[in-house]
Amino acid sequence: MGSVRNSKNRKKPKLAVFKFASCDGCQLSLLNAEEDLVSIGEAVEISHFLEASSHVEVGPYDLTLVEGSITTPGDRERIQEVRKQSRVLVTIGACATAGGIQALRNWGDHEEFQQAVYPHPEFLDTLATSTAISDHVQVDFELRGCPVNKKQLVELITDILHQRKPRFPRHAVCLECKQSGTVCVAVTRGIPCLGPITQAGCGGLCPGYDRGCYGCFGPTAQANVSGLSHWLLKHDMPKTELVPLLRNFNAGATPFREEGNRLAREQDTELE
Amino acid sequence: MSESRSINVKALTRVEGEGALHIRLAGDAIEAVELNIYEPPRYFEALLRGRSVEDVPDITARICGICPVAYQMSSIHAIENALKIRCSPETRSLRRLLYCGEWIESHVLHMHLLHAPDFLGCESGLEMGQSYPDELKRGLRLKKHGNQLLSVLGGRSVHPINSTVGGFYRAPSRQRLQKLIPDFEWGLQAAIEATRWVAGFEFPEFQQDYEMISLSHPDEYPMNEGEIASNKRPAISVDRFEQEFQEYQVPHSTALQACRVKENSSYLVGPLARVNLNRDRLSAAAKRLADELHFETPCTNIFRSIIARGLEVVHAYEEALGILRRAPVLTPAKISYDYHSGEGCAATEAPRGLLYHRYAVDEAGLVEKTQIIPPTSQNQLQIEMDLIRFLPGVLNEDDQQTARDCERLIRSYDPCISCSTHFLKLDIERLES
Amino acid sequence: MPAESLREKTVSPWQIHPVRIVAAKAEVPGVITYRLKFVDQNVEDAYSVSPGQFNMLYMPGYGESAISVSGYDEQNRELLQTVRVAGNVTRALSRLNVGDELGLRGPFGQGWPMKAAQGGHLVLIAGGLGFAPIRSAIEAAICHRGRYEKISILAGARSPDQLLYREQYEQWKAAQVELRLTVDRATPQWNGNVGVVPLLVDRLKISNPATATVMVCGPEVMMWYTVKSAIEQNISVERIWLSMERNMNCAIGHCGHCQFGPAFICKDGPVLRYDRIASYLKIKGL
Amino acid sequence: MEYGNRQLLAKEGLQDLILAMQALEYMVIGPKIEQEAIVYEEINSLEDLPRGWTDLQTAGTYRIKRRDDDAYFGYVVGPRSLKHYLHPPRQLVATATRDGQRWEFESIENIEQKYAFLGVRACEIAAMRVQDRVFLQGDYVDPLYAKRRESALIVAVNCTMAAPTCFCTSMQTGPRCTDGYDLALTELAEAFVIEAGSDKGEKILRDLPCSPVTTADLEQARKLQQQAVEQISKTMNPVNLREDLLENLNHDRWEETARRCLSCANCTMVCPTCFCSTVEEVVDLSGDNIERRRTWDSCFDIDFSYQNGSIVRNDIRSRYRQWLTHKLATWHDQFDQSGCVGCGRCITWCPVGIDLTEEVAVIREKKCSE
Ligand SMILES: Cc1cc2nc3c(=O)[nH]c(=O)nc-3n(C[C@H](O)[C@H](O)[C@H](O)COP(=O)(O)OP(=O)(O)OC[C@H]3O[C@@H](n4cnc5c(N)ncnc54)[C@H](O)[C@@H]3O)c2cc1C
Ligand code: SF4
Ligand code: SF4
Ligand code: SF4
């Protein structure tokens, strides 16, 4: 069947996990795969996964998972090297696919941020922005989520082991809500919910817990962000609340970023 | 003339986040020990400014994917203190239950996948599984329970979504909670077995005279509430934390380190400190087990902290079972509150130790100022101090072995390096004085 | 109660049957023609297919793909399917060897109107991989050669080495079938037509347009211009048939994916009469 | 056999009905308050019903509210419909298992669960019949739908009120249930008028503690049903609707709607007639055990029209157009009826309140020139 598993005499494919600016949550999702973790461990050679193993092999790697965003000059270079060493490079999680929560610095004054947190900013060597991996190197596949869904992560690894192109839904969270029988919190309670413009993958988690979706999985393909913000503004949601809603873990994703910026500009002119 | 020698561990492994260790020696004299955390800074304290208090638990969770509940709990309690919100006893129980889930998940992960391999000469938990398949399987199952509990209460195990200021977004389903009971009954026994297993490891002799710091509460094992206790000094209330402890920056690390303000001295937080200071408040089964294992307290050998972790897992299982059996009903899920300007702080016990947060909020419920002091920054100086004392005993080995031994020592702290970059502004004047 | 009366169609349309690869022939780079044989003889006995219909080929773990039947070897009871490597399913299929098994559901859909075309000039037009379903019409027509006044095959490909079924051409010509080929880009060795397929239609001699039937399969733009040319040749819109393609998931009209205006490509098509869809072909994004 | 012999059932008698259905091993699915809406859920007893509650619905909003009486069925329709149970959102349809070099393929054909639906409205019966047409009356029968549908028991309720989103009268599907049920109820102030519509229903009715109806009861029932008719304010003229839409596939309105529509698929999920699905391949790590699962899909999903590396309906405009024209126009070509029963769910549950009847009105008002 052409699966890697079947070709007994071939060496096991090498898996590497690299981390950039992140919280480790996406890597942890792999350790959280529990039973599957053992099977993955059998199917691949874990060649570089610092959080899980002291066994470190040099590249090239067959599959590289990259967590985290680019925030330092050093990392900007390191990712180039990682790319060179990787046959298939997959980014996992909002940090890697959109810059993560730390991309909020892109709207702030970097120096002032440094001063607010560190007494000696001069010891630091960081960039003024937090950017997605795909802004720096070519990425073969992006797995969304903050954190990624561990089922999807295992599925992705399986897909690659079996030489399948990974395919995940690009539709809205709303489908998952309805499929799981969750009642829409936007319609029944007027709670602002990003579900209609956020990519599925979490299973409609937040609405199932009576709160609005806050966009962990980033924008859907062709997300109509202004369509949603238009409705919310018409229904008395102030821009001061709407802008931060769009600026969460996927603040750096283009559709969220652009609409957030547009609203913020309008807000500024209104204030003047 | 003795040659100068430098030992580098370029990348610490089996720790959460990324860090390195540099040791510089001149002959047998230690010139420098630097725990270098090169985890890039993410400026959480800066990005929280201007956000509404309800956004805070979601954002602070992202400081650390290993202990998001700890960040949520500390920030929620600090904000509730700022807004003078008093939550119901049921909320309190369910929050403890949530925390039990995180302790189980995080401790079991560390015990089985990160730390145990050191004692068994393996490079990873998976490799260890080849010689100890049942132990690994048991560990993974225990870890899964922790995750399941987090998922039922919080929606998912990494960055759960159900905790908020004033309670929970949705009252946890009693039915789903009670479904966990059989698993947890099994887990309690299995956790006892696992602890017996790790207690049988061979530990290096390494006794240190630590100052141990943890929360302490008259009626319960510390998690979400209590005073800050020490084995060396009188207990203080949480709101005095910043007067007694402070953070400062060192050039070799992106993380800040913490120390005692007056004495400039290091201290230890985490499971070993907690068990030492609160042994009599461990659950019955955990206490019995500690006696059975002749776990002497105070225990001052950091390598034995894996046993303390085991005891806490047993405690967490037993406490969780009690709450699951009661399955408190939460009505309403979340209490309503008004915004007003104020300031509040709180400390809770993250799996790795004390986690302190302070917030100033304005009358619209937006954050003005934040201070977050995570456990790993508090342990960092202690780790360096330990290394200085530990090194002479391992220096006659080759560099690789010395490095490996040092790494083992560091690992027994279960340092969470991703957390340790989110450190706080310190008061420069005070530092210089 | 309608629900009660309709239970009789007992076999689940979801049942997949194993088939074995008996032979695989690389046609052109990236395109393979397979000979498939049912593993279970009862299934083989029950199976009957007409030209223009398609099967869902199933690669366990990868999914299903709609693949036209490009021929059926009655003697050996072997199905011919020509597959271009496009994505997951077809790529996985291409990694199989002779003797390996895969799954199949089918046949599905409405095929070419071979009967209705009898008595007149049969014009079969293929572009690229559209040759696959056209091939099954060629076979069927040759089988009953006498029933058609004239048979013309017009086929186009990007380049000469992209032309499918080259080894069959002599055989077809021997059965008195007119074969005209064209390529977009010629090579030095090529001395046939250069240009798009509709040009071949323009040059075709159709003695009696009233009884001629045109069957086309190829990319949508190619079909669009081919039909225009056919109409200019005075062929009635009711005698022009197109084989259409849309995303195919269930193949039984239950999943909604393959809709094209009023048609379900899986059950009303893939072969559709031009005049019934003409107005929709013009609309973008339907 | 003639049914329609009407009788009176005391309000508490509903509990006997629930018990009778349970005794026949039905899982009773009825209205229940969940997450601040009245949804179809498993009902264990009368206590579970939303007694004394109603719903308020407009485009994009839904709220539940106390009524000033104790009516059990004093609400309209909720986000779930029978399709949630008869054509469930996730369904295993087939499996593949590797056995050495060979594969075993199996299709799932048996389902033990029998459902009894309590509180079904006229438009919902109509919607179920639309799905019957899709799954049972074509060349292929969906075996799982057939099983569920055949074993289902329908206890209908005649509407006595309507929401501003209802337009069943336009689509000629309600508000009165005329057939397609096993039992039908009309809720009066003090009791129910109950009648059977099938042998199954008749058998259950025989054992219920009923009393004879009076003319006054019937008059009250008629009045209440009339009240629902009168409350319906929304209309959509079905005459020529198919042509009006198909002749306007390039109307400017589609573009305008696309600026509001989020392509979130809520309308298709709540619509009781929408039937689109996708079969997903769920593979274990070894690749040896595969489940083929059918899940609800939607024409609003961008990948729904994926074909050979490109997307056919590659903007919201063409996706919305596909939905509306399928529902109201090409459905006639395919199934000889409209795909819309006028329940108004898509209007209420659209998170930005798009109302298909308004869209249709605009398109009709100014037909496109071409
Ligand atoms: C009636 C008919 C007859 C055909 N006959 C032939 C033939 O004879 N020979 C031939 O080579 N081809 C034929 N095709 C085309 C063939 O079906 C496709 O090229 C084939 O499905 C490709 O399968 P794949 O898995 O390799 O490619 P993919 O492009 O990966 O698609 C496989 C299937 O998966 C689904 N899919 C893939 N990606 C997505 C996504 N992002 N979102 C949603 N769904 C997705 C689609 O349903 C797609 O059909 C025919 C198509 C039709 C409709
Ligand atoms: S995407 Fe979210 S979970 Fe993953 S590393 Fe980033 S912050 Fe953590
Ligand atoms: S709750 Fe949010 S995600 Fe769910 S259906 Fe409503 S709008 Fe969509
Ligand atoms: S289209 Fe709307 S009104 Fe019509 S049946 Fe569907 S949900 Fe109801």
Model pLDDT for residues A142-198, shown as the tens digit of each residue: 999 999 999 999 999 999 988 999 999 999 999 999 999 999 999 999 999 999 999
Residue of chain D nearest C17, judged by CA positions: D105
| Per-residue pLDDT at A6 | 40
Which residue's C-alpha comes closest to atom 45 of ligand 1? D306
Residue D170's Cβ-count burial label (10 Å; 0-12, 13-18, 19+) is: middle
Question: What is the structure's pLDDT at B417?
Answer: 59
Cβ atoms of D201 and D120 within 8 Å: the answer is no
H or E element at residue A222:
none
Give Cα D365 distance to the centre of its chain: 30
The angle subtended at Cα D143 by Cα D142 and Cα D148, nearest 5°, is 105
Angle between helices A35-43 and B133-154 (to 10 degrees): 130
Interatomic CA distance for residues C55 and A128, integer angstroms: 56
User: Which residue is associated with the tokens 């859920």?
Assistant: D41
Tokens 């993560």 -> residue: A100
Specify the range with the lowest mean pLDDT, choosing from C256-260, D271-275, D283-287: D283-287
Note whether D308 contacts C86, CB cutoff 8 Å. Answer: yes
Chain A residues closer than 8 Å to D348 by CB = 187
**How much is the average pLDDT of A64-91?**
95
Q: Is residue B16's pLDDT more than 70?
A: no
Give the residue, C207 or B92, on which the prediction is more confident: B92
For the structural domain made of B44-210+214-379, what CATH number should be given?
1.10.645.10
Taking contacts as CB-CB distances below 8 angstroms, the residues of chain D near A12 are none
CA B195 to chain CA centroid, Å, is 19
* Order of strands across the sheet that contains C178-183: C193-194, C178-183, C150-157, C121-127, C213-217, C240-243, C271-273
Q: Which tokens belong to A67?
A: 């967590």
Ligand 2 centroid distance, CA of B141 (Å) = 24
For chain C, where do the domains classified as CATH 2.40.30.10 start and end? 3-108
Q: How confident is the model at residue B8 (pLDDT cuts 50, 70, 90)?
A: low
pLDDT of residue D254: 96
Query: What CATH class has C121-281?
Result: alpha beta
- Chain D residues with beta carbon closer than 8 angstroms to that of C285: 312-315, 317-318, 321
d(CA A194, CA A223) in angstroms, rounded, equals: 10
d(CA A138, CA A141): 9
CB C97 within 8 A of CB C5: no
Whether residue C92 and residue A1 make contact (CB cut-off 8 A), yes or no, is yes
Contact: D352, A227; criterion CB under 8 Å: yes
How far apart CA B248 and CA A119 sit, in angstroms, is 8
SS3 A133: helix
The predicted model gives B159-174 an average pLDDT of 95
- What pLDDT was estimated at residue B126? 86
pLDDT digits (tens, 9 = 90+) for A135-148: 999 999 999 999 99
How far is C106 from B157, CA to CA, in rounded Å? Answer: 44
**pLDDT class of B427 with cuts at 50, 70, 90:** very low
Q: Do D90 and A179 touch (CB under 8 A)?
A: yes
Q: Which residues contact A109 (CB under 8 A, 6 or more apart)?
A: none
Predicted local confidence at residue D1, as pLDDT: 47
pLDDT-based confidence at residue A9 (cuts at 50, 70, 90): very low
DSSP string across D261-305 = -----HHHHH-SS---EEEEEEE-TTS-EEEEEEEE--TTSGGGG
Give Cα B175 to chain centroid, integer Å: 30
| % of chain D beyond a pLDDT of 90 | 92
CB within 8 Å: C96 and A2: yes
Residues D308-334: pLDDT tens digits?
889 999 999 999 999 999 999 999 999
Using CA positions, which residue lies closest to atom 5 of ligand 3?
Answer: A174
Rounded mean pLDDT of D24-34? 97
Q: Is C266 exposed, middle or buried (0-12, 13-18, 19+ CB in 10 A)?
A: buried
What type of residue is C135? R
pLDDT tens, position by position, B230-272:
999 999 999 999 999 988 887 777 777 888 888 889 999 999 9
At residue C8, the pLDDT reads 44
Query: Residue B17 pLDDT more than 70?
Result: no
Q: Which of A177, A183, A220 to substitute to test the interface with D, most D CBs within 10 Å?
A: A183
Q: D365 falls in which pLDDT band (50, 70, 90)?
A: confident
Can chain B be said to touch chain C, i.e. do they have 3 or more Cβ pairs within 8 angstroms? no
The residues of chain C scoring below 50 in pLDDT are 1-9
With beta carbons less than 8 A apart as the criterion, state whether B349 and B24 touch: no
CATH tag, C3-108: 2.40.30.10
Does residue D342's CB lie within 6 angstroms of at least one atom of ligand 4? yes
Every domain of chain A with CATH number 3.40.50.700 lies at 14-161
Confidence of residue B423 (pLDDT cuts 50, 70, 90): very low
Strand partners, B348: B355
**Residue B377: partners with Cβ closer than 8 Å, 6 or more residues away:** B247, B255, B256, B257, B258, B419, B420, B423
The reported pLDDT for the residue numbered B418 is 52
Rounded alpha-carbon distances, angstroms, from residue D134 to B288, D171, D335: 66, 19, 7
Measured in angstroms, the CA of D66 and the nearest CA of chain A are apart by 15
Could you tell me which chain A residue has the CA closest to the CA of B140? A34
Please give the pLDDT value at position D368: 61
Q: Are the beta carbons of C250 and D140 closer than 8 angstroms?
A: no
D75 touches A at CB < 8 Å: no
Asked if C146 is an interface residue toward chain A (Cβ–Cβ < 8 A), one would say no
Task: Please answer whether residues B107 and B70 qualify as being in contact, where contact means their C-beta atoms are separated by less than 8 angstroms.
Answer: no
Cβ contact B75:B56 at 8 Å: yes
The helix/strand/coil state of A268 is helix
Question: How far is the C-alpha of C69 from the C-alpha of C74, rounded, in Å?
Answer: 13
Q: What is the pLDDT of residue D239?
A: 93
Distance of CA C16 to the CA centre of its chain: 22
CATH topology of domain A14-161: Rossmann fold (3.40.50)
Of residues D206 and A118, the one with the higher pLDDT is: D206
Instruction: Report CA Rg, chain D.
Output: 22
What pLDDT score does A59 carry?
80
Instruction: Please answer whether residues D18 and D59 qualify as being in contact, where contact means their C-beta atoms are separated by less than 8 angstroms.
Output: no
The alpha carbon of B367 and the centre of ligand 2 are apart by a number of angstroms equal to 22
B429's tokens:
């004047």
Contacts of C152 (CB under 8 A, 6+ apart): C121, C122, C123, C124, C177, C178, C179, C180, C204
pTM of the full predicted structure?
0.93
Half-sphere exposure of B424 (CA within 13 A, CB side): 24
- Overall average pLDDT of the B312-329 stretch: 96
Q: What would the 3-class secondary structure string for chain B be?
A: CCCEEEEEECCCCCCECCEEEEEEEECCEEEEEEEEECCCCCCHHHHCCCCECCHHHHHHHCCCCCCHHHHHHHHHHHHHHHHCCCCCHHHHHHHHHHHHHHHHHHHHHHHHHHHHHHHCCCCEHHHHHHHCHHHHHHHHHHHHHHHHHHHHHHCCCCCCCCEECCEECCCCCHHHHHHCHHHHHHHHHHHHHHHHHHHCCCCCCCECCCCEEEEECCCCCCCCCCEEEECCCCCECHHHHHHHEEEEECCCCCCEEEEECCCCCCCECCHHHHHHHHHHHCCHHHHHHHHHCCCCCCCCEHHHHHHHHHHHHHHHHHHHHHHHHHCCCCCCCECCCCCCCEEEEEEEEECCEEEEEEEEECCCCEEEEEEEECHHHHHHHHHHHHHHHHHHHHCCCCHHHHHHHHHHHHHCCCCECCHHHCCCCCCHHHHHC
Report, as an integer, the average pLDDT of B186-198: 97
Query: What is the atom index within ligand 2 of the atom nearest the CA of B62?
Result: 7
Please tell me if the CB atom of residue D80 comes closer than 6 angstroms to any atom of ligand 4: no
What are the residue boundaries of the structural domains of chain B, listed by start?
44-210+214-379
β-pairing, D277-283 with B342-350? unpaired
Q: What is the Cα–Cα distance from C97 to B232, expressed in whole angstroms?
A: 75
Decide if C91 and A163 are in contact by the 8 Å CB cutoff.
yes
Sheet holding B342-350, edge to edge: B342-350, B353-361, B367-373
CA A244/CA A267 separation, integer angstroms: 13
Torsions phi, psi for C55 (to 5 deg): -115, 160
Predicted pLDDT at D98: 94
Does A58 have pLDDT greater than 80?
yes
The encoded tokens of residue A52 equal: 């899980």
Work out the minimum CA distance from A269 to partner chain B, whole angstroms.
19
Q: Which are the contacts of A108, defined by CB distance < 8 A and separation ≥ 6? A: B43, B46, B47
Q: Please give the distance, rounded to the nearest whole angstrom, from the Cα atom of residue A199 to the centre of ligand 3.
A: 12
pLDDT at position A53: 77
Residues contacting residue A122 through CB under 8 Å, at least 6 positions apart:
none
C92–A contact, CB cutoff 8 A:
yes
pLDDT tens for each residue of A93-127: 999 999 999 999 999 887 888 887 777 777 777 88
Structure tokens at B86: 């008093």
